[in-house]
Every structure is written in structure tokens, then in C-alpha cells.
């Protein structure tokens, strides 16, 4: 079965559904129904949204999978949020990529050996110099 599209191929305005039918019982409903926000996206935008959901909102993983830099993932997500009629909140502080477990262990080992203070370790673990 073909997927429904939400924009008119002639003028680009939102389409409405005027007829619904149940395959199981034959119920036939007529009227004017909205399709929903997600139907207004292109196939590429839906692929991005599906990838974002599949990766549990982890922009780094989305970028890896789609071959996009983190900043492009964030920018694309902001565009989609606005396209849905929402205004994104204040931009959060730029996230650092997750620290490698080996690096984290080395920092904690340095604290245990007295080579690093707990405060310096916290700064390093949070991505600060």
C-alpha cells in the first residue's frame, strides 16, 4: 500500500482526508480529517526522525549513522521542530562526545594514586581543561 503524503503536489499546501474505510468491517466514514504533522515531512526528513528515535535522541550516534557532523544534526533537528510548529528552547550548552572508558579509568586511577585532586578529576571528567 502506498504511503499518504500531506502536502499538495500542485500548490504545496496541507491536504486533508475526506474518506476513511475499515478493511476489516467495511465501516465507511466521510468528513474532513487532518493527516497529522508527521505527514507533512519529506521522505528524507522522516528518515532523519526515525534515525533520531532509533538512536534514542543521541545526536552523536545519529551523526555517525547518517554521516553528518554533530552541528548539522542539531541544526536539522531545530528545523524539524520549527516545521512542526514548535519553538525550540534556549540552545543547551554544547555537549562533549562521551569520554572513552579507558580515559575515565586513567583519571580515576590518577586520583587513587594521589597524582590528581578530586576537583581536577571532576573537571576533566566533565570535559573541562
> pLDDT per residue over 11-23, tens digit each?
988 888 888 899 9
Task: Answer whether residue 64 shows pLDDT above 90.
Answer: yes
DSSP-derived secondary structure letter, 100: P
Domain count, the chain: 3
Q: How far apart are CA 69 and CA 4, in angstroms?
A: 31
30 lies in the same domain as 50: no
Q: Average pLDDT in the 83-104 region?
A: 74
Predicted pLDDT at 72: 94
Reported pTM: 0.53
> pLDDT per residue over 97-114, tens digit each?
677 888 888 988 998 999
- Helix or strand run (H / E) with residue 19: strand 16-21
Task: Answer whether residue 125 shows pLDDT above 90.
Answer: no
Task: Answer whether residue 56 shows pLDDT above 90.
Answer: yes
90 is a domain residue:
no
32 lies in the same domain as 53: no
27 lies in the same domain as 52: no
114 is a domain residue:
yes
**Band (90; pLDDT cuts 50, 70, 90):** low
The chain-wide mean pLDDT, for the chain, equals 85
59 lies in the same domain as 32: no
* Cβ-based neighbour number of residue 81 at 10 Å: 13
| Higher per-residue pLDDT: 57 or 90 | 57
94 is a domain residue:
no
48 lies in the same domain as 27: no
Measured distance between the N- and C-terminal CA atoms of the chain, rounded to whole angstroms? 56
Q: Which domain holds residue 51?
A: 41-83
Amino acid at each position: 500500500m502506498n504511503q499518504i503524503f500531506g502536502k499538495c503536489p500542485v500548490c504545496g499546501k496541507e491536504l486533508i482526508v475526506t474518506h476513511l474505510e475499515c478493511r476489516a468491517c467495511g465501516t465507511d466514514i466521510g468528513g474532513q480529517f487532518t493527516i497529522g504533522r508527521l505527514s507533512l515531512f519529506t521522505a528524507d526528513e522522516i528518515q532523519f526522525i526515525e534515525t533520531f528515535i532509533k538512536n534514542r535522541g543521541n545526536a552523536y550516534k545519529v551523526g555517525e549513522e547518517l554521516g553528518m557532523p554533530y552541528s548539522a544534526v542539531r541544526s536539522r533537528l531545530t528545523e524539524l521542530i520549527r516545521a512542526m510548529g514548535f519553538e525550540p528552547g534556549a540552545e543547551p550548552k554544547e555537549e562533549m562526545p562521551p569520554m572513552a572508558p579507558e580515559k575515565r579509568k586513567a583519571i580515576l586511577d590518577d586520583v587513587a594514586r594521589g597524582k590528581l585532586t578530586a576537583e581536577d578529576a571532576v573537571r576533566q571528567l566533565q570535559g573541562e581543561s
